[in-house]
Amino acid sequence: MSSTQILLNSTSDRFPNGLGNDSGELGHNLMDHTYRIGAMGKVDGFEDQYYSGRRPNGIYIPRYVNLDENTKSDKFLRGFGFQGGGGRSSWGAGANLEDFGGAFKDGLMKPGPWEFFITGFAECLPYHENKVYLNHEVLDKWGQPTLSIDCEFKENEKAMNRQIREDAKVMLEKAGLKDIVDFDNAHEPGFGIHEMGTARMGRDPKTSVLNGTNQVHACKNVFVTDGACMTSSSCVNPSLTYMALTARAADHAVSELKKMNL
């Protein structure tokens, strides 16, 4: 979280622990989505069909757990969604091979069977102990402290991952796929590359870094609108939310400037 690193590096007599860090929450509550858990299988038929061009997107299955009393789970808090897609296998079969000749090239033109997969993205809760902090022992090329990360998925996320794997297999079975393989390629936070948190928004300056318009509570002319501001990771791709928050914060900043409040 580059914005958090900048704030942590910006110290003074007023802010000895980082700019705007009166609450002590700066750097804490790091989140990412769990990733690489799901199922895949083969689809019979359609051998005479192929696709062309670049698809705009795959498929998405919205969250369906813990939405209300009827979908409440006693296994975990929050929930997950699925992303996925289909295609014909063997399209990259010739990669890194030393073969040559007509037969080899002809073989590359024969696509394999249709395959389909879904993988879950689960919400990570904002744990205070999941954090980033300055490493004064390892400096960058400008002589500034680098950012160290101390973060792990906990039992709630692991419970969701188990449910993701189970549900993914059942859905593909119900859809009629063959040779289904369910998987959980366990990993630490970071593989989802949806890092967020560490300078969270909140109404109370004692428990948050930013206010509702992304301003540092104790320094209203400083705005933070990237993923650091997030209080929850939800279970969806977050970048459009960052863009919306940035647009809203910019609009608010212009309005406040015109009023001479900034």
Per-residue model confidence (pLDDT) at position 46: 87
Strands 219-223 and 215-216: antiparallel
Per-residue model confidence (pLDDT) at position 87: 85
Residue 107 in this model has a pLDDT that exceeds 90: no
Give the Cα separation of 67 and 63 in Å (integer). 8
**Rg for the chain, CA atoms, rounded:** 23
Mean pLDDT (the chain) is 92
Residue with the bigger pLDDT between 49 and 251: it is 251
Mean pLDDT of 58-86: 95
Q: Is 118 helix (H, G, I), strand (E, B) or coil?
A: strand
Closest CA to 4 of 142, 189, 199: 199
Summarised one tens digit per residue, pLDDT across range 184-217 is: 998 899 888 899 999 999 999 999 999 999 999 9
Residue 97 in this model has a pLDDT that exceeds 80: no
Summarised one tens digit per residue, pLDDT across range 164-185 is: 999 999 999 999 999 999 999 9
Give the Cα separation of 51 and 224 in Å (integer). 42
Closest CA to 148 of 165, 136, 164: 136
Go through 204-240 and write b for each residue having 16 or more CB atoms within 10 A of its CB, e for each that does not.
ebeebbbbebbbbbeeeebbbbbbbbbebbbbbebee
Task: Report DSSP state, residue 244.
Answer: H
Q: Is 101 helix (H, G, I), strand (E, B) or coil?
A: coil
Residue 92 in this model has a pLDDT that exceeds 80: no
Give the Cα separation of 2 and 143 in Å (integer). 16
Give the Cα separation of 207 and 210 in Å (integer). 10
